[in-house]
Amino acid sequence: MQPPPDTKDWTWTLRRRCDQCGLSAGEIDPAQFAERAFVAAEEWVQILRSSPAVSARPQPDVWSPLEYGAHVRDVYRLFDARLAQLLSEDTPTFASWDQDETAIAERYSEQDPEVVADELEAAAQVFVARIRSLTPDQYSRRGFRSDGAEFTVLTFIQYFLHDVIHHLWDVTGQQDAAASLALE
């Protein structure tokens, strides 16, 4: 059994607090972007390396921590590639990415949690470095998702942070699980 496809448009999370994970992504200051992205990755690495039931699904149709972790690794990679595109092209449109198809095609459930943890850590290092390299004049650069949703570099990174922090909530049930460790 596979989880139901996630077809929800999550762009509302840029405009109001998410009741589930507790994050107000649209209010995150750019000065916190790199630290937040780094701390969330560290949380994920910790879960992948030390969660006792890392590959067990809590319910048949809910991803295991391993599957979420593999997804989050791919999100770090994908958002890094898209951020590079936002910085090098004028108003690019991103290629579409079906996260549910990817999970099945890449056999997330059969991946080695140690390897996923290492890959996630490496992907996060690259993305965090790219965020750190941003200059304020680049925050307003624009791009489009394939469904027409418009992002700036600023909202793109806020959206990213909600995604990886929301999935921490999916796995731990803790609200804004990475916030306690972030610089606030």
Residues at the site binding Zn ion, with contacts judged by CB under 5 A: 18, 20-21, 166
Least Å distance between CB 81 and Zn ion?
23
Give the residue nearest to Zn ion (CB): 18
Quick one: 13 or 64, whose CB is closer to Zn ion?
13
Least Å distance between CB 30 and Zn ion?
20
Least Å distance between CB 48 and Zn ion?
20
Least Å distance between CB 155 and Zn ion?
15
Quick one: 18 or 83, whose CB is closer to Zn ion?
18
Quick one: 18 or 157, whose CB is closer to Zn ion?
18
Query: What is the per-residue DSSP string for the chain?
Result: --PPP----GGGGGTS--TTT---GGG--GGGHHHHHHHHHHHHHHHHHH-TTTT--SSTTS--HHHHHHHHHHHHHHHHHHHHHHHHSSS-BPPP--HHHHHHHTTGGGS-HHHHHHHHHHHHHHHHHHHHT--GGGTT-EEE-TTS-EEEHHHHHHHHHHHHHHHHHHHH--TTTTGGGS--
User: 30 and 183 in contact (C-beta within 8 Å)?
Assistant: no
Give CA–CA dist 166/55, Å, rounded. Answer: 19
Quick one: 118 or 176, whose CB is closer to Zn ion?
176
Quick one: 130 or 159, whose CB is closer to Zn ion?
159
Least Å distance between CB 28 and Zn ion?
13
